[in-house]
Amino acid sequence: MAEPGRSCPRHYRYSPPVFARPADIKAQSLYVVGGLYGNPFALETVLDLARREDAMLVFNGDFNWFDADPAGFRAINETVLQRAALRGNVETELAGEDAGAGCGCGYPEWVGDAEVERSNRILERLRETARGHTDLRARLGDLPMHLVAEVGGLRVGIVHGDAESLAGWQFSQEALREHPERARELLAGSGVDVFACTHTCLPVMQDFATPRGTALIVNNGAAGMPNFRDTHFGLATRIASTPSAQALYGVRLGAAVVEAVPVRYDYEAWMARFDRVWPAGSAAALSYRKRIASGPGYAVEQAVRTGAFSRAA
């Protein structure tokens, strides 16, 4: 048995052909919002982005994480659950009582033991909060693990992890660099043009030549945390028939564009809220405060692996 936080529970798994089905949703313009991590200010921003262009929102999991305060937990979930949503490993583990799965992250070997152990502690505290909200807990457990969307003629597989697992890491920037052939196989086996995913903390947009033409994997990293060095904004994936003036980078695929759009939330307010819920020395402060304050050691140029346009600067 793998230790808690390292394992990928059996019920997390599905197979790539499951995506070869009629679309569950159709939209002109769609935002895929992964990794909100309980940031209510980022949630406000994505709601506003979508409202401005009458776009559809899909929250593809881990919208909970730092919202261990009861009022924050209820507010995030009541709002998100009014939209289309998938459960990530966090929501799945919050809905259940499987202490052996830890945070359900399925962390690979490049993530250290201390960080995995802290993630398990964050999940335990969050689950304690969730126990006071049995109605929300049940709704989280009922969410699907994947959706198929049709946008501008593109078939889009929306997942939390990868094409085989809710907590899979095959669409992480690390795995896409080391084993692109595996991702190409998964795209070909699923019959989608785009996989929109999150879960692995860092964003990436990478294209692939498949027998059906160019296909794309787009990982938004986190909507609720900074994704690049010395920045203060999250990222969401936007798929639409016309480009957004706000996109940081993106690519045209057939009649549609796939873009990374900054989620510019109230940074000061979020820092203050985070510090109140997770004070210095807490598991979340040790693992995430530095990233929330100034971003990870990762650059836009590392995320863009396409013939994409980029407004990165």
CB closer to Fe ion, 200 vs 282: 200
84-86 sheet: strands from edge to edge? 84-86, 56-60, 29-33, 234-240, 256-263, 249-253, 309-310
> Distance between CA 42 and CA 50 in Å, rounded?
12
Nearest alpha-carbon partner for 196 in 141, 253, 111:
253
Query: Least distance (Å) from Fe ion to the CB of residue 214?
Result: 27
CB closer to Fe ion, 92 vs 206: 92
Nearest alpha-carbon partner for 225 in 29, 33, 87, 31:
33
Query: Least distance (Å) from Fe ion to the CB of residue 160?
Result: 6
Residue with smallest beta-carbon separation from Fe ion: 199
> Distance between CA 301 and CA 224 in Å, rounded?
21
Which residues here bind Fe ion, judged by CB under 5 A? 62, 88-89, 199
CB closer to Fe ion, 7 vs 244: 7
Query: Least distance (Å) from Fe ion to the CB of residue 201?
Result: 8
Is 303 in a helix, a strand, or coil? helix
> Distance between CA 106 and CA 114 in Å, rounded?
14
Query: Least distance (Å) from Fe ion to the CB of residue 134?
Result: 23
Query: Least distance (Å) from Fe ion to the CB of residue 199?
Result: 4
CB closer to Fe ion, 62 vs 259: 62
Is 14 in a helix, a strand, or coil? coil
Query: Least distance (Å) from Fe ion to the CB of residue 225?
Result: 12
Task: Report the chain's C-alpha Rg in angstroms.
Answer: 18
Which residues lie closer than 8 Å to 196 by C-beta, 6 or more apart?
A: 32, 34, 60, 156, 157, 158, 159, 218, 219, 220, 237, 239
Backbone angles phi, psi at 286, to 5 degrees: -65, -40
CB closer to Fe ion, 168 vs 295: 168
Structure tokens at 253: 């695929």
CB closer to Fe ion, 251 vs 298: 298
Query: Least distance (Å) from Fe ion to the CB of residue 28?
Result: 28
CB closer to Fe ion, 88 vs 295: 88
